[in-house]
Structure 1
């Protein structure tokens, strides 16, 4: 690394030729931060209101003029929605650890990811995770890594498909944190990786793993992605196209015929026209068309969360059954599957090129 230090103790020291009263400097390292959407701290009204206020105040998520949107949000939306969202979170809450499943899973992903990076790079790479909304916050994690000597940081949003309300806002938050630092680390952001062979392989394997023991094979697989307003597509956001391509690449990886996997979008919010078809309506239509056994997968989510464990497993399942469907199979997100972690490590290794070498390469 570029900074030379005279060690006083492991991992810390004084800059070479520095005066004796110079502040200690941590040994230069590379940081990798895995980033997910976010989570409330609890399911009570106050926790949910704080979380939803932060989330829905983000102009990457709701990009209406603030003077128009904030009164509606603070005086109308946030009077009732925290109760409804709190009930949804309560139904899936990890009571043993007193946290949301997203936080539990992201921590497990990070631990497995860190173990693999440790075997490759030893102590040269430090791994952590943060949330765009809620805790652990992006600013706190980036600050901690910088204080621990990470002069270079790879910022890794866990969104296979690029979207301005997901990837872009995560990156925005990282750059805001850097604006407050006297000494900024060099930073790289990981681009969309929906075409990465390891990701597609893990996604396809997750399907076959669920299908194999089923007595009745689903006649249709629905790939349900988080929705965005349709105008985002016309304003240059590539999310819709990347979702459609993900579905096609998954089908080809599975070796299935055309028409075997449908693309749909969930979690509509507000009065605008959103990308369609809406998953909740599409599964009902499939049932009416005679598809009695279907499966649903969520390729845009890397960890199960309220949108998958509650929305898909409750609202969307109910819509299918109410329309005459019989068997509804949800295929879990990739979560901390070993093949998923291996794909993430491979992506990170590629993005770390020129910054750090594996231990075996430096022997």
Structure 2
């Protein structure tokens, strides 16, 4: 394994653990610290950051190994400041620090949590005109599609996203020497008897239930009791073929346990790069017609930030084309800017299935959408039943 591959693996493990490790706990925590009526007063009252100017050192709070050290060092040298880079690895840890008004100047947060966080009064609004290189951001992310077809919610989210960061899609990976007849649908998880005992689902509530609901033709954001009952029935149909619920990382792929499993495209890319060449050839990957279940991390400035001007300078630094290219080559994720997507296409040229048609970003059906507070307990109850067997 080369040094770059090792770094990619570390970054992805930390990122997925945060993103999918505790969606329910995060929702309950946010409900406890929300200010106002939770319906939007705090959005209008939130402080706006309107100047990109150095006002102190930068306290950066994100995933481990998530930025190019060269780009970070360049920022420190150019502006004569220090970056105090600290890490989180779980949802509870990140939310607890945000809720406790820790002096965090800039963080990266998952797309499906942006609006609830903003509504809880934990984020500052951003004047995007103050970011010189904001024009690099792809048009589909100026008003980000993170809340599905709820255009009002997307508009309300936009002021709190300083800029998008890494994004990724969910697909299915399979052993081509063991599994035949894949069709490009989540149905394939149910229709491969040769993979009985070697088929896995993720031990992660939101993406796993979303996969099942999308396969049934339902919008997860709208799923109620009846849809969840059908999802439970679909899981019972699959259960005899299940080898179990696995971690979101690629351990089961690497150790040979899985022949058929959901996977993030970028995670499979990292796993393949770490395998001997003869093993790489055994694996194939597909995105699925029902949804790619995209999510994206985002730069956000917490309400407790003491150096918001420096934070905006950092966002602008990361958006500059030369820095963006270096960073994409380091982290291995697509970043939805003009230069970010160009660099990602070059990086993954040997893996056509990793290429992304940018038009997909504007399709709200392709996104992992938030679970509303009034549906969260239903999701948790359904998940507990699924896991209990």
Give the TM-score of the pair, scaled to structure 1: 0.29
The structure with more strand, counted as a fraction of residues: 1
State the structure with more CA Rg: 1
Give the TM-score of the pair, scaled to structure 2: 0.28
